[in-house]
């Protein structure tokens, strides 16, 4: 019985038996990438140098082939390491050849860099630099399978290096094709496939302007990550905003080893259009995407726009119980941290991404004061993020009254909120309360008039003096019917 290693070798040699030669297809400059939005943390991570199985892109590229008449094999290299083999398609627009079969050679393990040399002429070198074998590389895996000019095939399992005379060292996976060509000569093929390791998301920067009014300079960029295992040069890019459904669990899914900002004419913004239920952004010029990089390109022109900053104390939530909550321990005392928020109105449809906010210090130097994620936001809609916890503001919330009349189907509850401000300027704090013991309630009294009142929210805007305190008192009256009475 033969060993597994010998069986693998026999199959490898048999797979290439009877092939007169292997042609190599080279990529042309006409490459198009359609990138889908991805929030994969590993795709944009600054650490690690491995390829990433995150993100989703569709590639369309032309390959220049030199064909031989009849049936022969062609190897196409420089493919990503994690493409979807089931969705890979190759066609000949001129109709001068057809694909009989195809085999994807994955770039994995220690020999990943050599997979791209499949079909190329190489010299295999020993530890002292001597040539161990020369010829066409048929396979790189558990050793190198080399065919020399006499047609003999050799498996080399121990070597020090591989040398090729090509100007570029191909990277990534390779595609081995059995092709039937009508005639010999140059031909062009169109190759398309989805792959992971590529993705994009929006990156926004807001720099707050000095003054009492909330104004900011708003910059919009697309961050494009490439961890696909290969470089992309002079590539036409289209970015898709939205969330298409991916059915296959094994399909590619939606870094910063080095970061680059693509230099583009300030007036040359991406061309927007509608794509089914999504939004597409086509970049005005070709760009390079080196492997292991995050590039940034403008998404919208920089503009100055209005905003709204709020110091917010939010107690409770909009929970609606199925019956009146008469337990005295429900809705306990609260207070504590007051958070700073920023709200803006979308001047156009904004793709989901992260918004970093800066403001100038006393020396005029922009300093980071918070970051948050905004979801896909339609034009004219509001987008809000939490910047962080306000250092100089604090709140204490205590219940000052509680009484329930089960026979009369009523409940009364009151609270006192004391706001402290340790800064040198007056601050406006928005206090948001959620009366949620029962859906039928009225505001019985309050020391300040509410700025907003809905079915589950009371909101007050309280002026808190510099280095001082302010107090808000309010009371709520609940009522229900006998049928709603808790057991």
* CATH number, position 26: 2.30.30.100
Q: CA-CA distance, 279 to 239, in Å (whole number)?
A: 8
Q: Does residue 77 lie within any of the structural domains?
A: yes
Looking at the chain, the whole-number percentage of residues with pLDDT higher than 70 is 84
Q: Which of 167, 195, 223 is the last residue of a domain?
A: 195
Q: pLDDT tens digits, residue range 74-92?
A: 888 778 877 787 888 888 9
Q: Which of 168, 195, 222 is the last residue of a domain?
A: 195
- DSSP run (H or E) holding 4: helix 4-15
Q: pLDDT tens digits, residue range 320-378?
A: 788 999 998 886 656 678 999 999 999 999 999 999 999 999 999 999 999 999 999 99
pLDDT surpasses 80 at 110: no
Alpha helices in 40-181 (DSSP H): 41-44, 112-115
What is the band of 8 on the pLDDT scale with cuts at 50, 70, 90? Answer: very low
Q: Does residue 262 lie within any of the structural domains?
A: no
224: Cα separation from own chain's centroid: 9
pLDDT surpasses 70 at 484: yes
What is the band of 254 on the pLDDT scale with cuts at 50, 70, 90? Answer: very low
Q: Does residue 214 lie within any of the structural domains?
A: no
Q: Report the Cα–Cα distance between both ends of the chain, in Å, rounded.
A: 79
Q: pLDDT tens digits, residue range 305-326?
A: 999 999 999 987 777 788 999 9
Which has more confidence, 25 or 135?
135
Q: CATH number for the domain including 455?
A: 2.60.40
Query: Do residue 185 and residue 327 come from a single domain?
Result: no
Looking at residue 13, what is its pLDDT?
Answer: 31
Looking at residue 6, what is its pLDDT?
Answer: 31
Mean pLDDT of the chain: 83
Q: pLDDT tens digits, residue range 154-188?
A: 988 888 888 887 645 555 677 888 999 999 999 99
Mean pLDDT comparison of 19-33, 102-116, 188-202, 232-246, highest-scoring range? 188-202
Q: Does residue 29 lie within any of the structural domains?
A: yes
Region of residue 432 (left: phi > 0; alpha: psi -120 to 50; beta: else): beta
Question: Which of 72, 102, 308 has its CA nearest to residue 193?
Answer: 102
Cα–Cα distances (Å) from 310 to 342, 387, 393, 449, in that order, read 6, 10, 12, 18
Query: Do residue 324 and residue 462 come from a single domain?
Result: yes
Region 437-461: mean pLDDT is: 95
Looking at residue 139, what is its pLDDT?
Answer: 78
- DSSP run (H or E) holding 433: strand 427-433
Beta bridge partners of 322: none
Domain with 452, as residue range(s), is 317-338+390-487
Q: Does residue 62 lie within any of the structural domains?
A: yes
Cβ atoms 446, 475 nearer than 8 A: yes
Q: CA-CA distance, 38 to 351, in Å (whole number)?
A: 11
Q: CA-CA distance, 171 to 89, in Å (whole number)?
A: 20
Pairing of strands 427-433, 308-315: parallel
Q: Is 163 helix (H, G, I), strand (E, B) or coil?
A: strand
Q: Does residue 159 lie within any of the structural domains?
A: yes
Q: Does residue 115 lie within any of the structural domains?
A: yes
Q: CA-CA distance, 40 to 74, in Å (whole number)?
A: 35
Query: Do residue 327 and residue 472 come from a single domain?
Result: yes
Looking at the chain, the whole-number percentage of residues with pLDDT higher than 90 is 49
Q: pLDDT tens digits, residue range 388-437?
A: 999 999 999 999 999 999 999 999 999 999 999 999 999 999 999 999 89
Looking at residue 20, what is its pLDDT?
Answer: 37
Using only C-alpha atoms, the chain has a radius of gyration, in whole angstroms, of 32
Looking at residue 455, what is its pLDDT?
Answer: 92
- Tell the burial category of 455 from Cβ atoms under 10 Å away from its Cβ (0-12, 13-18, 19+): exposed
Q: Where are the beta strands (DSSP E) in 157-214?
A: 161-164, 173-181, 185-195, 198-208
Q: Look at the chain and report how many structural domains it folds into.
A: 2
What is the band of 116 on the pLDDT scale with cuts at 50, 70, 90? Answer: low
Residues in the chain: 487
Beta bridge partners of 161: 125
Query: Do residue 27 and residue 176 come from a single domain?
Result: yes
Q: Which of 146, 164, 195 is the last residue of a domain?
A: 195
Q: Is 198 helix (H, G, I), strand (E, B) or coil?
A: strand
Q: Does residue 230 lie within any of the structural domains?
A: no
Q: CA-CA distance, 167 to 178, in Å (whole number)?
A: 26
Looking at residue 54, what is its pLDDT?
Answer: 83
Looking at residue 162, what is its pLDDT?
Answer: 87
- DSSP run (H or E) holding 226: strand 215-226
């Amino acid at each position: 019985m033969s060993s597994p290693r010998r069986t693998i070798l026999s199959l490898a040699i048999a797979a290439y038996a009877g092939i007169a030669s292997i042609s190599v297809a080279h990529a042309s400059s006409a490459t198009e990438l359609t990138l889908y939005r991805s929030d994969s943390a590993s795709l944009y991570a600054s650490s690690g140098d491995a390829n990433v199985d995150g993100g989703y892109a569709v590639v369309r590229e032309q390959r220049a082939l030199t064909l031989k008449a009849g049936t022969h094999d062609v190897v196409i290299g420089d493919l990503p390491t994690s493409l979807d083999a089931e969705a890979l398609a190759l066609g000949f627009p001129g109709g001068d050849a057809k694909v009989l079969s195809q085999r994807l050679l994955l770039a994995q393990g220690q020999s990943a860099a050599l997979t791209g040399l499949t079909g190329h002429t190489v010299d295999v070198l020993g530890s002292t630099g001597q040539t161990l074998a020369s010829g066409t590389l048929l396979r790189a895996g558990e050793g190198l399978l080399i065919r020399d000019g006499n047609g003999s095939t050799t498996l080399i399992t121990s070597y020090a290096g591989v040398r090729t005379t090509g100007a570029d060292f191909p990277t990534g996976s390779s595609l081995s094709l059995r092709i039937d060509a009508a005639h010999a000569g140059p031909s062009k093929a169109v190759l398309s496939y989805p792959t992971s390791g590529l993705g994009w998301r929006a990156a926004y920067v807001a720099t707050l302007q000095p003054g009492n009014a909330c104004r900011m300079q708003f910059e919009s960029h697309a961050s494009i990550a490439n961890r696909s295992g290969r470089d992309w040069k002079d590539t036409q890019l289209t970015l898709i905003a939205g969330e298409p459904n991916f059915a296959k669990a094994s399909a590619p899914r939606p870094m910063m080893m080095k970061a680059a900002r693509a230099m583009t004419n300030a007036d040359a913004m991406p061309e927007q259009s509608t794509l089914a239920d999504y939004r597409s952004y086509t970049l005005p010029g070709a760009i390079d995407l080196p492997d292991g990089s995050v590039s940034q390109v403008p998404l919208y022109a920089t503009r100055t726009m209005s905003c709204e900053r709020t110091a917010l104390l939010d107690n409770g939530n909009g929970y609606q119980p199925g019956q009146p909550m008469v337990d005295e321990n429900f809705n306990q005392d609260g207070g504590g941290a007051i958070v700073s928020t920023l709200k803006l109105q979308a001047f156009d449809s904004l793709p989901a991404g992260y918004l970093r906010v800066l403001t100038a210090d006393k020396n005029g130097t922009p300093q980071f004061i918070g970051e948050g994620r905004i979801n896909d936001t339609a034009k004219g809609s509001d987008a809000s993020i939490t910047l962080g916890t306000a250092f100089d503001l604090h709140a204490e919330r205590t219940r000052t009254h509680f009484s329930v009349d089960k026979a009369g189907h009523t409940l009364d509850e009151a609270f006192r909120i004391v706001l402290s401000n340790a800064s040198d300027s007056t601050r406006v704090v928005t206090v948001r309360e959620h009366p949620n013991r029962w859906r039928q309630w009225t505001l019985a009294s309050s020391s300040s008039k509410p700025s907003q009142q809905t079915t589950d929210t009371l909101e007050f805007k309280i002026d808190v003096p510099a280095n001082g305190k302010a107090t808000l008192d309010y009371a709520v009256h609940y009522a229900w019917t006998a049928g709603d009475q808790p057991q």
